[in-house]
């Protein structure tokens, strides 16, 4: 399942215009008041949530590479939209869901009428620890635990929950069956803690496949997030470079100073390294390769390195204006740090990489 | 699997000798040339098989001995060669740098004359760019080529001419109009190193190795037809060739050998617990290094796909900068992990493998200088890619 280079370019161009027009990055503190269900409905009508699902399962057949391109465009404007969760949940349900889940839930996920959330990470470090439990009862399962920082958790109709039974398992849970605590996060995105207080789900809510599906879903989510992060880094660097080309001090454009030029060049180096990793990881997801988890770690790690540097420099290179709430730089650095920490920060990712690689 | 991939896989299985599937020791690198040596006879056998297919230069036109493959096919060939752990059949500055430039700027006669011997590894080329007074500011070069009617008369000195002591020909930048602004008086000239008046002296590096040379030209007569591109139009060609060079010095990993894994050195240094590096902080540093290194590899590959599809782009300087950084970081880590065992120079009281790490560490210091310094590459990125003002 691959998307041609031309189709990918067209998808990206269309998405760029649409996101810039309908969900642009903005300055100011708190949640973006202009973003709401309307934008999501419109994006879903364009088929974005169906991007990674094959055509024979009712999807658009653009693969994860196509979904990654769309996420990159959303990331450019750091727009808080549930595409990552819906896109990945749809792909997982299409591939691993029960007949009932594919009949009842998949169409809503594909069309965006059902909003999904990925309830995977736990605790302050969103690491690979999995304390949420699943135990069998009355021919179904009971889920017990607490998920932290679930993007879109408060508004979700369907949650994809990672839990530990006799092995790591993935379940679909009804959004109305869980308790949510909305979080006022530094970056204003809509996160929530999700409390699973003895949530009963049917046997057909379980996703079934070879290998560790929790690791697989975590990998896909990390790749999707990394795609958004590279998009955000790309846009942030454009804004920085524009400023360097226009701002004058000492009678010259500050972008003519070599000290600043080299720092800008180093940002591009990190960004391009991260982009290569994200592309490779998206391709690995499309090819269902066994080293998906490694490549997902690599992609999120390098995207984290790039966006950490770029967002920090974005504030510094704008000088005083970059510190004010009137400028968009503050929103990029906040969005960056939250994204870096979600699903495991770089220290944790490096440790996990060493484990997989046998050292 | 595509038909082409199946065909390639079958051909490799039938033609790749067993010893060519193993990591390549430096002395077995097949550089070709008039004085080519093959300490391992299977290297020659593999080279001849690849030449017969034109696959030493997969994307060059078959008319010049190349494989005539498109970019997608070349990618498949590359993947299948890697899959079989095949060593490169030929290492060659002719293939990597001069050939692409001749294809773009050479006359038909020049292509017919020079490209097939490159494909077949018969002529070994070296590069005459830098001079004692022209390093990062390459365009200030002073080696003169005077028009003597029937020939060019060349006088001057080149430096950092890699393997000039082993090469057959040199592609050189020469000044043909001393009165013109510095970028506009340079031409691109091909010179047979056997011509009277050429002399070569190796330069010893801090690592003890000497791949580089000084090359002197003393009243060297060069035929008029050996100029590539227009008179005084050499700078455009020079820049293009530099991009190919940057890509290739990084693509060959600066000769960096990956047979010793840095994580194994770390295990030796601090011990193992359950098969893992015992020190968590060190383990994290090693993992971060390896992640960066892998990102550089993936970016190098991305940049090669760009080249195969005919464009040498924005990624060249990124790859050159980042691969130097990664290789130097590896060298520093290795020497740190070995401690004082990593700081011997020679002799029986050191493990030869540790001595090799020491030499690699020292040699890696040149990675951010050769083929365009890291500073110059950052200039290129900020000016040409990001468009920052002068």
pLDDT tens track for B269-311: 999 999 999 999 999 999 999 999 999 999 998 988 776 665 5
B375 near A CB under 8 A: yes
Among A114, A135, A165, the domain boundary falls at A114
Interchain CB contacts (distance < 8 Å): A and B: 113
Same domain, residue pair A261 and A170: no
Same domain, residue pair A217 and A309: yes
Q: Does A258 contact B301 at a Cβ distance shorter than 8 Å?
A: no
Q: Model pTM?
A: 0.90
DSSP string, A78-142: T---THHHHHHHHHHHHHH--HHHHHHTHHHHHHTSSPEEEE---TTTT-S----EEEEETTEEE
Task: Tell me which chain A residues have a C-beta less than 8 angstroms from the C-beta of B296.
Answer: 273
Arithmetic mean of pLDDT, A136-153: 97
Task: Tell me which chain B residues have a C-beta less than 8 angstroms from the C-beta of A260.
Answer: 388
* Polymer length of chain A: 359
- C-alpha–C-alpha distance, residues A335 and A244, integer Å: 22
> Average pLDDT, whole number, for chain A?
96
Where residue B314 falls among pLDDT bands split at 50, 70, 90?
A: confident
- C-alpha–C-alpha distance, residues A93 and A85, integer Å: 12
A 102-121 residues with CB < 8 A to B: none
Residue A208 has pLDDT above 50, yes or no: yes
- C-alpha–C-alpha distance, residues A244 and A268, integer Å: 14
Q: Cα–Cα distances in Å, from A280 out to A277, B295, B313? A: 5, 10, 19
CATH number at residue A103: 1.10.540.10
B287 near A CB under 8 A: yes
Whether A109 contacts A167, CB under 8 Å: no
Residue B2's pLDDT is what? 81
pLDDT tens track for B179-204: 999 999 999 999 999 999 999 999 99
Same domain, residue pair A104 and A124: no
Where does B252-385 sit in CATH, by number? 1.20.140.10
Q: How many domains does chain A have?
A: 3
CATH number at residue A189: 2.40.110.10
Residue A234's pLDDT is what? 98
ipTM score of complex: 0.96
Arithmetic mean of pLDDT, A49-54: 97
Instruction: Locate A5 and state its tokens.
Output: 């280079």
Same domain, residue pair A220 and A351: yes
Q: Does B286 contact A274 at a Cβ distance shorter than 8 Å?
A: no
A 222-251 residues with CB < 8 A to B: 241, 244-245
Max CA separation in chain A (angstroms): 77
Where residue A22 falls among pLDDT bands split at 50, 70, 90?
A: very high
Same domain, residue pair A38 and A173: no
Q: Does A353 contact B263 at a Cβ distance shorter than 8 Å?
A: no
**The residue to which tokens 């697989």 are assigned:** A216
Whether A201 contacts A141, CB under 8 Å: yes
Residue B255 has pLDDT above 50, yes or no: no
- C-alpha–C-alpha distance, residues B331 and B354, integer Å: 12
Strand runs (DSSP E) across chain B, as ranges? 125-128, 144-147, 151-159, 169-175, 186-192, 198-202, 213-223, 227-228, 272-273, 276-277
Residues of B classed as catalytic: 245
Where do runs of H (alpha helix) occur along B230-279?
A: 234-251, 262-270
Q: Does B299 contact A297 at a Cβ distance shorter than 8 Å?
A: no
- C-alpha–C-alpha distance, residues B49 and B85, integer Å: 16
Task: Tell me which chain B residues have a C-beta less than 8 angstroms from the C-beta of A359.
Answer: 263, 266-267, 275-277, 283, 286-287
Whether B291 contacts B322, CB under 8 Å: no
Same domain, residue pair A106 and A126: no
Q: Which helix (H) or strand (E) holds A29?
A: none
Instruction: Locate B165 and state its tokens.
Output: 């002591």
Same domain, residue pair A138 and A269: no
Top-level class of domain B3-91: mainly alpha
How many C-beta atoms lie closer than 10 Å to residue A242's C-beta? 11
* Polymer length of chain B: 390
Where residue A168 falls among pLDDT bands split at 50, 70, 90?
A: very high
Same domain, residue pair A56 and A190: no
Same domain, residue pair A91 and A139: no
Where residue B254 falls among pLDDT bands split at 50, 70, 90?
A: low
Residue B249's pLDDT is what? 63
The CATH superfamily label for domain B125-233 reads Butyryl-CoA Dehydrogenase, subunit A, domain 2 (2.40.110.10)
Q: Where in chain B is the domain with CATH 1.20.140.10?
A: 252-385
Smallest Cβ distance to B284: which of A244, A298, A350? Answer: A350
Least confident span in A224-233, B24-33, B163-172: B24-33
* β-strand pairing of B198-202 with B186-192: unpaired
Same domain, residue pair A59 and A154: no
pLDDT tens track for B373-386: 999 999 999 999 99
How many C-beta atoms lie closer than 10 Å to residue A356's C-beta? 13
CA A297 to chain B, closest CA, distance in angstroms equals 9
Q: What percent of chain A has pLDDT over 90?
A: 95
Same domain, residue pair A243 and A352: yes
Same domain, residue pair A121 and A110: no
Which residues constitute the domain of residue A308?
213-356
* β-strand pairing of B276-277 with B227-228: unpaired
Task: Tell me which chain A residues have a C-beta less than 8 angstroms from the C-beta of B301.
Answer: 276
């Amino acid at each position: 399942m691959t998307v041609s280079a031309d189709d990918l370019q067209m998808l990206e161009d269309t998405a760029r215009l649409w996101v810039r027009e309908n969900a642009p990055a903005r300055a100011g503190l708190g949640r973006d008041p202009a973003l709401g269900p309307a934008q999501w409905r419109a994006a879903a009508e364009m088929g974005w949530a169906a991007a990674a699902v094959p055509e024979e399962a009712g999807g658009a057949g653009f693969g994860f590479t196509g979904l990654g391109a769309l996420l990159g465009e959303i990331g450019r404007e750091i727009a808080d939209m549930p595409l990552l969760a819906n896109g990945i949940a749809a792909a997982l349900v299409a591939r691993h869901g029960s007949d009932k889940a594919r009949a009842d839930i998949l169409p809503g996920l594909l069309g965006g009428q059902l909003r999904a959330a990925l309830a995977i990470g736990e605790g302050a470090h969103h690491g690979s620890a999995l304390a949420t439990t699943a135990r069998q009862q009355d021919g179904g399962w009971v889920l017990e635990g607490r998920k932290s920082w679930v993007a879109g958790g408060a508004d979700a109709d369907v949650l994809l929950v990672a839990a530990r039974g006799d092995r790591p398992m993935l379940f679909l849970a009804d959004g109305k069956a869980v308790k949510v605590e909305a979080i006022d996060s530094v970056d204003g995105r809509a996160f929530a803690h999700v409390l699973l207080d003895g949530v009963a789900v049917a046997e057909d809510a379980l996703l079934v496949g070879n290998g560790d599906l929790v690791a697989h879903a975590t990998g896909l989510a990390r790749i999707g997030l990394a795609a958004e992060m590279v998009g955000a880094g790309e846009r942030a660097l454009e804004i920085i470079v524009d400023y360097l080309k226009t701002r004058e001090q000492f009678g010259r454009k500050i972008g003519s100073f070599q000290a600043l030029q080299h720092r800008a060049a180093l940002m591009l180096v990190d960004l391009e390294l991260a982009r290569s990793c994200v592309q490779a990881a998206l391709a690995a997801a499309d090819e269902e390769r066994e080293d998906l988890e490694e490549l997902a770690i690599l992609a999120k790690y390098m995207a984290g390195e790039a966006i950490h540097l770029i967002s920090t420099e974005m504030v510094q290179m704008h000088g005083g204006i970059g510190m004010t709430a009137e400028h968009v730089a503050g929103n990029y650095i906040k969005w960056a740090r939250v994204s870096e920490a979600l699903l495991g920060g770089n220290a944790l990712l490096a440790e996990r990489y060493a484990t997989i690689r046998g050292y | 699997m595509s038909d082409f991939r199946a065909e390639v896989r079958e051909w490799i299985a039938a033609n790749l000798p067993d010893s060519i599937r193993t990591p390549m020791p430096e002395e077995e690198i097949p550089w070709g040339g008039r004085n080519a040596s093959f300490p391992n006879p299977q290297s020659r056998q593999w080279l001849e098989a690849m030449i017969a297919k034109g696959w030493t230069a997969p994307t060059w036109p078959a008319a010049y001995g190349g494989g005539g493959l498109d970019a997608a096919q070349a990618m498949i060939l590359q993947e299948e060669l890697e899959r079989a752990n095949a060593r490169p059949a030929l290492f060659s500055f002719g293939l990597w740098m001069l050939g692409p430039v001749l294809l773009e700027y050479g006359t038909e006669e020049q292509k017919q004359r020079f490209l097939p011997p490159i494909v077949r590894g018969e002529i070994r080329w070296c590069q005459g760019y830098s001079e004692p007074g022209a390093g990062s500011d390459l365009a200030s070069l002073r080696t003169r080529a005077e028009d003597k009617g029937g020939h060019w008369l060349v006088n001057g000195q080149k430096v950092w001419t890699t393997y000039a002591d082993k090469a057959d020909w040199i592609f050189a930048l020469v000044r043909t109009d001393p009165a013109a602004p510095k970028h506009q008086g340079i031409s691109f000239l091909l010179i047979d190193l056997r011509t009277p008046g050429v002399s070569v002296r190796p330069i010893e590096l801090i690592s003890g190795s000497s791949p580089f040379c000084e090359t002197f030209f003393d009243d060297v007569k060069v035929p008029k037809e050996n100029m590539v591109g227009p008179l005084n139009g050499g700078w455009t060609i020079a820049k293009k060739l530099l991009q190919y060079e940057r890509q290739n010095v990084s693509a060959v990993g600066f000769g960096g050998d990956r047979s010793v894994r840095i994580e194994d050195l770390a295990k030796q240094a601090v011990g193992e617990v359950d098969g893992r590096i015992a020190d968590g902080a060190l383990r994290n540093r090693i993992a971060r290094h390896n992640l960066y290194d892998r990102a550089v590899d993936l970016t190098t590959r991305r940049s090669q796909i760009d080249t195969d599809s005919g464009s040498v782009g924005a990624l060249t300087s990124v790859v050159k900068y980042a691969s130097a950084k990664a290789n130097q970081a590896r060298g520093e880590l290795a020497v740190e992990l070995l401690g004082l065992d990593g700081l011997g120079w020679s002799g029986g009281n050191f493990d030869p493998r540790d001595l090799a790490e020491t030499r690699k560490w020292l040699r890696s210091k040149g990675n951010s200088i050769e083929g365009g310094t890291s500073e110059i590459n950052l200039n290129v990125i900020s000016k040409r890619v990001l468009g920052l003002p002068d």
